[in-house]
Amino acid sequence: DGGITQSPKYLFRKEGQNVTLSCEQNLNHDAMYWYRQDPGQGLRLIYYSQIVNDFQKGDIAEGYSVSREKKESFPLTVTSAQKNPTAFYLCASTTDPSKREKLFFGSGTQLSVL
Amino acid sequence: GESVGLHLPTLSVQEGDNSIINCAYSNSASDYFIWYKQESGKGPQFIIDIRSNMDKRQGQRVTVLLNKTVKHLSLQIAATQPGDSAVYFCAENIPPRVTGGGNKLTFGTGTQLKVEL
């Protein structure tokens, strides 16, 4: 089945630690996105990538980093510089970001601080 | 309707009744709108979308209405079922001529729909 796979489902971070969230899609989508979801708030864009080896900062990129070495994969690293990392992280993809197309979402990763 | 804050607005309906969930969007230039359903601990699922040149679109058991005059979007669910219980949120697309870059999707905070048996 085609889709977006995020792992792990739950992740715990210690003080000063970097952690990486995985996102893989087999939909052959060019564009991929990372969003952060906090209780009672709308999704906020962290980073996005429209093509391999290229990515752009979203609205809340500070304390995060990404890479896009393969079309299928768009991992997100939450660095120690992100002081409030506890949130639900969602990866999404779409065929052509220049068109008005719906985003497909993964099932999310809940990140908590130990 | 949706609002910013820690507590989501909640809509409680009886099984079999119709549900209407509202969304006030922010930008009069937005040209595309999407409704998503999100169950607890899961990613959002696409329900239905509508472009700004339309005022109504119907799907299976769902209808989206768009009122551009007052920047209002609604989602109607017919014959609501227990499986419809979830958070529903809307998203608006702000086009490049406004963002100065590419298309930008902005998401609402959501409404919790509870279906009572």
Question: Percent of chain B, pLDDT > 70?
Answer: 94
Whether chain B has a CB inside 8 Å of the CB on A11: the answer is no
Chain B residues whose beta carbon lies within 8 Å of the beta carbon of residue A103 = 34, 46, 105
Q: How far is A105 from chain B (nearest CA, A)?
A: 6
**What pLDDT is stored for residue A20 in this prediction?**
97
Is a pLDDT exceeding 80 seen at residue B30? yes
Indicate the DSSP class of residue B95: P
Sign of CA dihedral A10, B6, A80, A14: negative
Q: Pick from A102, A46, A44: which is nearest to A74 by CA?
A: A46
Cα–Cα distance for residue pair B82/B29, rounded to 1 Å: 36
Q: What pLDDT digit, counting tens, does each position of B62-107 carry?
A: 999 999 999 999 999 999 999 999 999 999 999 988 988 888 899 9
Q: Does the beta carbon of A97 lie under 8 angstroms from any beta carbon of chain B?
A: yes
Nearest chain A Cα to B5, which residue? A40
Decide if B32 and A100 are in contact by the 8 Å CB cutoff: yes
| pLDDT tens digits for range A13-45 | 998 899 999 999 999 999 999 999 998 889 999
Q: Is A54 on the interface with B (CB under 8 A)?
A: no
d(CA B63, CA B86) in angstroms, rounded, equals 17
